[in-house]
Structure 1
Amino acid sequence: MDQQSLFVCLFFLVIRRGKVTVWLTELAAPPHIEIRSSVLRWDSPRDTNVTFSVQYSTVPVGLWHSMTGCSLLHCDFPGEQFYGKVFRVRAERGTLSSVWQQSEQVHCAHIDTCAPLITLTITTDKVGLSMKHRDSSLKKEYGGHITFKPLYWKTTNPNDIQEPDDITNPLIIWGLESGKNYCFQVEYLTYNKPYGHPSLICEEIPEKSADRTFRIIISGVVTVLVLAILGCSFYFVYNYYRKIKQHLHRYLEAPLDIPDHFHKFLSSEFSEDQVDHPSSQDEEVCDFISLEQAQLEPEVVGKG
């Protein structure tokens, strides 16, 4: 056998032994990975005494990030934080590990925190509210049983919530007060029950040109009136300040008369001697009367 044939044989032997080694040291991958109600779940493989590593990446798949805090066979995650991500799980034991088992991309149908996407088109006399799904998973799962529920209210009166009678997409809302802030909310309804989280946007309705002009005119008129009143007041004080000074001088020099009984009451000092106490004679009379009553009661009883 020449050297070339010997080298080829040795090469295939190394490759074959490498495959045997990998097959002997590789763990079984966790089967059946699924995402349901904001929970990533997987089944346990045939191997025992194993742990699992979980990673996620954005779509298209790029850099993988490790997740912590997962339990043995499931991993909870915030739906909005991991929306649109792809997960992978592998089994580990010591220095051994299995191949990665990859999940599907997270859709709205997989999570309970899904919220509609809304955009506003605001003009001076109307608001256009557009509503759409983050993806088509909810529409595929619920069909016509998944709907949008729009609401709006003025920020100064949050208890007065308005719901349109005729819901279209985009929804045109008329009759909003210009120059005021409004909040617009859209949530999912599945079988007429709320689903996921609502989306909320608060914006100010711009003023109409006529309203802005009227407000500027009123502000100008009020400012002119206030300045005119102040100017007239200063002019009057400047021209008649001597008469005003004499009048105030006479008023301030007038004595402050207080009635005599008030003056006496405020300046007098009270003492215990001024308080009337019952005399000793009155006390004796009271004692005598009580004694007479005590003596007469037995006689009345005896006669009975």
Structure 2
Amino acid sequence: MLRIFLWIQAFVQVLSVVTLAPPQNIHVNKWQLTWTHASEKEDVSYTVQYRSFDTSVWKDVQACVQTFSTSCNVTSTKAESEHGCVMLRVRAERQGLTSKPVKACSRHGDSCTPEVSLTARPGSLTVFLSGNNSMALEYADHAKHRVYYGKEGESLQKYEDALYSVSIPGLEEGQRYCIRVQYMLYDKPVGPESCTQCEVIPGSEYERQQTAIITAVVVVVVVLILIPAIAYILIFQRGRIKKCLQPPCKIPDNFLLEPFPEHHILSSTSSPSEERYDVITAME
């Protein structure tokens, strides 16, 4: 009977180890690591670990071993790596039980984590990455980005290595895909990964709808703004329009009706050899 009881107790302890919830929302920002509680129980503690570029061994951050806090300053780990970048993870502990450790990610790009932005197109996802980073400037083509991708809810096992931005083709339309990115130096991971970002892959129909919406907006703008503006100009600004269309010089109004001077006519029709005669004004 005692043996059965011990077996049951051992089984419960093993089950507790498996089901001990790990910490969540583990983020690092400027060497400040934060996370949220694994469970509502107050006796859960946490241990922060780090791993440098040139080793596969995880070491404890001495200032954050079995702490009940949900934050840890990990600036001290910067000196432990040749490049000043380390990977971080946190595990929960309770009454001698240990949860699965969870790696930290960074929401903001810095010298240890890439800055990432996404654009989804029908059948593909473009991941925009900056080639102007400290890793690339120092190590050139030896420093790359490793882009992990997959459907939301799945383990992101597939990846593409790229120096700059990369486009991932052949994705299912209407499905939500997620990515995370990490620096790679000589094919070894460096620093924390970027936090997971997800986008829905639009379909061709969606793109047509977007084009139709944009066209409708343009038509509305033309009808509501341009046409009334043109009508206002033609109706109320006709005088200014005519003034602008007038020629630069003004022709006198009586230019064609003005008679020539009499001496002008005489000088043009008489000559010095001709005799002068009196003009007969009346005859009986």
Give the TM-score band, short-chain normalised: 0.3 to 0.5
Structure with greater strand share of residues: 2
Structure with greater helix share of residues: 1
User: TM-score scaled by structure 2?
Assistant: 0.32
User: TM-score scaled by structure 1?
Assistant: 0.30
Q: Which has the larger radius of gyration?
A: 1
